[in-house]
Amino acid sequence: MLFPQWIIDHIAQSLYWADRTVRADLIAGLISGENDYTSNLTATIRRQINARAVPKLSATSYVLKPIVERSVGADACIVLASEREFKICLFEAKWPRLSTHNNYWDSVQKNRRVSHFDDQLHKQQRVSSIFAVWEMFYCEFPYGKQPSFMPSHVSACVWQHDAIRASQERPGNDNPWTDQELEDLLRNASSQVDHLIREVCLCHHGQRFNGNDFLSVFEEYEVPSEVLVIKYAGEDAQQA
């Protein structure tokens, strides 16, 4: 484990309530789009963790300078760090708007004539064996009134390896994903962000990096400019 179990519980609970809180804002019409949701989500995770006032557990947000083209096919980065090692998570966000639109959330790239989502999934493959990578689908339905293939109170999440498998099984990537294809994916592989972060902390996904030099890893592999670092500096993290 990257952290003691009780710290993992705090982190997972913080992500759950952050996602649930921002979904409430989305339901109320206070979120303007995917980027706004993602920015609010990472900020709310930071506040949730810091408000718990757990000794040696903290969260800090960073915006990286666009030194290199960040073409990894993801919207945000979460770093989970102890004093001696860290892991990196990436996620791509989509807001399908299933309550108001049909087949709205994907498109065909004009210059390459391929599905934008398929292209993002293939870009993620460059780092999917190193980082923990997932897709996150935001939901504007009121609590309890969402489609049966989406969680009751939070967003639907899918590991990148499940999404890329579904992408490879499509008849061709020159057409955008449909709502039915999204439904099939989520029925087969849907989870939620607190469950995924537990898996990462338990070291079932993502590679461990020694030390705390996040920047060198960011520059080598390219990550989204929006980064949230969650750090536990307690001594018991070393025996976890």
Q: For 139-197, how does the pLDDT look when each residue is reduced to its tens digit (9 = 90+)?
A: 999 999 999 999 999 999 999 999 999 999 998 778 999 999 999 999 999 999 999 99
pLDDT of amino acid 69 = 43
Residue 173 has a pLDDT of 76
Question: How far, in Å, CA of 58 to CA of 77, rounded?
Answer: 16
Contacts of 126 (CB under 8 A, 6+ apart): 72, 221
State the average pLDDT for the chain. Answer: 92
- Tokens of residue 85, six digits: 């090692």
Distances from the Cα of 162 to the Cα of 159, 184, 185, 196, angstroms: 5, 11, 8, 13
Q: Would you state the pLDDT for residue 168?
A: 93
Question: In the prediction, which pLDDT does 66 show?
Answer: 61
State the CB neighbour count (10 A cutoff) for residue 239: 7
Residue 70's pLDDT is what?
Answer: 53
- pLDDT score of 227: 92
Predicted confidence band of residue 135 (pLDDT cuts 50, 70, 90): very high
What pLDDT does residue 68 have? 46
Q: What pLDDT is stored for residue 140 in this prediction?
A: 98
Q: What is the pLDDT of residues 53-74, one digit of tens each?
A: 999 999 999 887 665 445 788 9
Token pair 């592989």: residue: 189
Per-residue pLDDT averaged across 95-107, rounded? 96
227: left (phi over 0), alpha (psi -120 to 50) or beta: beta
- Specify the pLDDT at position 22: 98
The rounded percent of the chain whose pLDDT value lies above 70 is 95
**Helix count and strand count (H, E) for the chain:** 7, 7
Full 3-state SS string of 152-218 = CCCCEEEEHHHHHHHHHCCCCCCCCCCHHHHHHHHHHHCECHHHHHHHHHCCCCCCCEECCCHHHHH
Rounded distance, CA 49 to CA 25, Å? 19
CA–CA separation, 181 and 170 (whole Å)? 9
Question: Tokens 């899918």 identify what position?
Answer: 158
Spatial CA neighbour of 92 closest among 45, 158, 48, 146: 158
Which residues pair with residue 76 across a beta bridge? 91
Q: Tokens representing 181?
A: 């294809």
